[in-house]
A and B are shown apart, each in its own frame.
Chain A
Amino acid sequence: MIYPKKLNSRKSKIIIDVLLIFTMLISAILILINKLTTPNVSWAYIAICGFVYFWVTLIYSLKRNTNIAAHILLHMITTSLVVLYIDKILNFTGWSICIGIPIILMAANSTMLGLSIIDSKRYIRYAIYQLVIVCISIVQFIIAMNLNIDFKVLNIVSVIISLLNFIISLILSYKEFYKIIICKFHI
């Protein structure tokens, strides 16, 4: 080998196609849950907009070779704050906590999963960002549980997805991850 291992064009095509189908499937499931649980609030379409937004970010960052995971994390935090702010100025009904932020978290998680598959050499880099996403997921979950809101399904789903995603990354790069944790936290 005279070059670092890069993903074969045929394989990357398959991965992207599979991820696209996966996104479409999740979107369909969300629409179904939306219709069955809260047909008056079309939150599933907001989630689909979120998926589109993260796909555009993913493709753009991959083409430009920028630190994609950091981009996604930054976008996730800023959009969550914007959603929270909009909810607050609209007399805070809690939709940002029980719908908005969980959707953003799910979209960020699926993008991170996509990244880990496409750019397998950087599992470890993504695992660190996923750890941050897990922490944010847990925080929003705790807040949701303490709020007087009926609809908490998405909070539960998003925290489960975040944890699962993080565990997958850990399995893929547990040795490197262990080293990084020791180094970062001076253990």
Chain B
Amino acid sequence: MKNNKKESLIWRRLDNSAKIYPLSTGRKYSTVFRLSVLLKENIKPDVLQDSLNETLEKYKSFKVRLKKGFFWHYLENNPKLPIVEEEKEYPCKYIEPSLNRGYLFKVTYFANKINIDIYHVLTDGNSGTIFFKEIIYKYLEKCYPKELENENKRIIKIEDNTEDSYIKNYDKYSKSNGIIKSAYKLKGKKIRLGAVSAIHQIINLEQLKDETKKYKATITQYLTAVLIYSIYKENYNKNSKKSIKVCIPVNLKKYFPSKTMSNFFSYIFVEIKNKEVWTFEEILEVVKNEFEKQLKEEEVLKTMSGNVKFGNNILVKAVPLLLKIILVRFAYIKIRRISTITYSNIGRIGIIGNYKNYIDNFLMLIAPGQYERVKCSSCTYENNIVFTFTSILNDNKIEKSFYNFLKNKGIEIKIESNGVLDDIS
């Protein structure tokens, strides 16, 4: 008990990006993302529980609970242990800390799949992957001790760093990118009773690479263009004055030196203005130009600094938390409208040595919201890139169009889903 008391005194501030989430999120806007791994054999829950407990001992930054301060929320060491559960609910549901032993992540399993749902307050997709991989390594080592005997002795240098890399790297004098107008909202009826559809399109990476080379585009650029083209064809109201805007998170660790396990990402927006006819090639050209323009270091710095400066503003800091929650929720009614859809590509998930022999694939999902009713994410493992649509819309026309476009290009695609919407064929 004494020890528990001592531990509970360890606390840390939320990073600059995380500060906003507890103020703005709820059941309808969860900011939860999920990472899943598909193993070759069914999951052993007890072993998974042990692996999670051991991993948490190494990554103390995840062994925390959210507390309310007078001005901001903060994270405090959580003396309880999390409980691994069988997957029963829809993916990326809001994590209610009081019903989750205070934890801001949830580990679940189903058949041969392990999931981790992470509330964005805790970390971003990049660091979430590091933590998740450690759970997987531990789990596999326990399940196959003989086969992974040599791997077991791996020395992993764990850097459980929780510095606020935003504060460390932002530029005080940088000017922000200005106000952004609201974007086109995807039309259609919602699925009843709060259900969430998840459709995974497992794409052959080599074939996709060959296709993107023809257009001198990166995979993210190409898939963003296919996504916009699918929205334009299947959902966009050609009379709308609003543009289709795709929000693309950017991993800031590629731009600034950081080893933090906290959030460290920014975003760019790709905008396709209303025009009578858009061809795929034209859309791709716009996407490439926007990526090139907005991913320059000075532009990334501008966006990041703008957000940090807002959070560091003395007036903003001085507002009591209760009032902040009301003001931020009110402001977010408008802020949420700035993008039509989000597409997050966390890139390749690298698995070392013989661990690969026990893994089939990885999946990534992000929670859709009331305004961004569909969200997309992708990750790469071996020769597969898994592009996932999570949606609360009661039709899958965009998903079908996306699938047909790539199929018509001669790229092999397989579909997996949670069965909420009808199958794509």
Contact = CB atoms under 8 A, between A and B. Distances in A.
User: Interface range on chain B: under 10, 10 to 19, 20 to 34, or 35 or more?
Assistant: 20 to 34
A67 to B, nearest CB: 11
B275 interface: no
B93 A9 contact: no
Contacts of A16: 192-193
B195 interface: yes
B363 to A, nearest CB: 8
Chain A CB within 10 Å, residue with most, of B192, B198, B418 = B192
If over half of B's interface residues share one DSSP class (helix, strand or loop), that class is named, otherwise mixed; here it is loop
A2 B38 contact: yes
Contacts of A62: 193-194
B194 A1 contact: no
B394 A65 contact: no
A15 to B, nearest CB: 10
A12 B416 CA distance: 20
Contacts of A9: 191-192, 195, 197, 394, 420-421
B89 interface: yes
B27 A64 contact: yes
Contacts of A185: none
Nearest to B112: A2
A5 B419 contact: yes
B97 to A, nearest CB: 15
Contact of B110 (A2, A65, A121): A2
Contacts of B86: 4
Interface residues of A, number: 20
Contacts of B422: 8, 10
A5 B90 CA distance: 10
Given A1-B111, A65-B89, A65-B93, A6 B195 contact: yes
B333 to A, nearest CB: 20
A65 B419 contact: no
Nearest to B393: A9
B206 interface: no
A7 to B, nearest CB: 8
Contacts of B194: 62-65
A13 B193 CA distance: 10
A118 B192 CA distance: 12
Interface of A: 1-10, 12-13, 16, 59, 62-65, 118, 121
Given A4-B110, A63-B194, A64-B27, 12 more contacts: A2-B363, A3-B110, A3-B198, A3-B417, A6-B90, A6-B418, A6-B419, A6-B420, A8-B420, A16-B192, A62-B193, A62-B194
